[in-house]
């Protein structure tokens, strides 16, 4: 049986047959009715056994194997999937999976981690279910689209001070006031160089560790693939060129090494509340003083200026007042 609800100028239609549910929104009620008739006919012809006797954990295993494995962030997704599989929702059969299970998991997860972490898990699960619905036909609906998303956390305001930068690099074996060129830097020293490079360029950790000799040019670094799926050229400051010249073949570290060693160094430096990614905000805040928003977006790779300005662009109010006269 279909139910119709008018929301402003649109009509939302919901249909249900047993545990199988679908919903959609249309500009007119007649279009909604036509869609409902078609979908109800399909549901009548779909036996319950059409959905495989799999659980959400089975879905995540296949997603990790076929989808996550193709991503540069595979290790990150693998760890996150492993954690998610520890919750009750993972044992729910796909034929029973609905909005109630999703909302219960959302609230449980929210008691264990920050809202930002819940949202990252949510995005991963929702995409996995969407792939299962569209490509594998393991689901008729994506239950994550029927539940209110977790709230976004306010953007971090953290930037590194000069003293913090010195202490962290010292803990990693580098003196920022005089970096001696060595034939071979230790892994810890390479992490320090990557950190200093991030503070100059605003590049993400994942982008820095993937730099190779062929990507390094006189005035810029070419990134053949970035987080948003496209290539980007990042201009280099004089200091950034000096740093990358010390490691002409690239930084020679893996993401897991950078993450582990930076965590230990920041703890020894008394900066436990800092994240490596705060270097991006630090760099873009500094560059915002000399670049226009459009130029800054070209450097950072942001396609959404609102995200750039709201998250990373943090000019000093006193300086802005001085410019205004």
Q: Could you give the residue numbers annotated as active site? A: 204, 227, 302, 312
**Distance between CA atoms of residues 110 and 119, nearest Å:** 9
Q: Counting beta carbons within 10 angstroms of the beta carbon of residue 85, is it exposed (0 to 12), middle (13 to 18) or buried (19 or more)?
A: middle
Q: Counting beta carbons within 10 angstroms of the beta carbon of residue 283, is it exposed (0 to 12), middle (13 to 18) or buried (19 or more)?
A: buried
- Which of 117, 110, 120, 133 has the alpha carbon at shortest distance from 63? 133
Measured N-to-C along each axis, helices 115-131 and 56-66 cross at an angle, to the nearest 10 degrees, of 80
The alpha-helical segments, DSSP class H, found in the chain are: 29-44, 56-66, 74-84, 99-112, 115-131, 162-171, 187-201, 205-209, 238-246, 255-268, 278-287, 293-300, 305-311, 317-324
Token pair for 111: 């008691």
**Distance between CA atoms of residues 171 and 271, nearest Å:** 11
**What is the DSSP secondary structure assignment for residue 172, as one 8-state letter?**
T
Task: Please check whether residue 246 is in contact with residue 179, taking contact to mean a CB–CB distance below 8 angstroms.
Answer: yes
**Distance between CA atoms of residues 314 and 12, nearest Å:** 41
Task: Please check whether residue 149 is in contact with residue 107, taking contact to mean a CB–CB distance below 8 angstroms.
Answer: no
Token pair for 100: 């109630």
Q: What are residue 173's phi and psi, to 5 degrees?
A: 95, 20
């Amino acid at each position: 049986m279909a139910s119709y609800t008018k929301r402003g100028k649109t009509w939302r239609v919901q249909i249900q047959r047993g545990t199988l549910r679908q919903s959609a929104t249309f500009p007119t009620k007649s279009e909604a009715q036509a869609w409902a008739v078609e979908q109800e006919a399909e549901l009548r012809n779909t036996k319950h056994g059409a959905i495989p006797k799999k659980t959400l954990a089975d879905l995540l295993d296949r997603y990790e194997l076929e989808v996550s494995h193709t991503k540069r962030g595979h290790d990150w997704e693998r760890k996150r999937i492993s954690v998610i599989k520890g919750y009750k929702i993972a044992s729910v059969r796909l034929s029973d999976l609905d909005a109630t299970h999703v909302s219960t998991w959302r609230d449980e997860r929210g008691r264990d981690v920050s809202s930002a972490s819940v949202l990252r898990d949510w995005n991963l699960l929702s995409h996995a279910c969407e792939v299962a619905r569209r490509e594998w036909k393991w689901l008729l609906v994506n239950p994550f689209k029927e539940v209110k998303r977790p709230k976004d956390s306010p953007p971090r305001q953290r930037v590194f001070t000069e003293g913090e930068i010195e202490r962290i690099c010292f803990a990693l074996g580098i003196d920022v006031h005089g970096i001696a060129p060595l034939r071979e830097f230790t892994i810890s020293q390479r992490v320090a160089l990557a950190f200093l490079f991030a503070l100059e360029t605003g590049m993400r950790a994942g982008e820095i560790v993937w730099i190779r000799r062929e990507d390094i040019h006189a005035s810029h670094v070419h990134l053949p693939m970035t987080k948003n799926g496209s290539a980007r050229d990042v201009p280099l400051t004089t200091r950034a060129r000096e740093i990358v010249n010390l490691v002409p073949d690239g930084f020679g570290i893996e993401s897991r090494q950078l993450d582990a060693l930076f965590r230990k160094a920041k703890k020894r430096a008394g900066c436990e509340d800092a994240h490596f990614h705060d270097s991006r905000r630090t760099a873009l805040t500094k560059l915002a003083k000399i670049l226009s928003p459009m130029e800054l977006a070209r450097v950072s790779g942001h396609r959404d200026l609102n995200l750039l300005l709201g998250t990373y662009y943090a000019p000093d109010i006193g300086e802005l007042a001085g410019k205004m006269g």
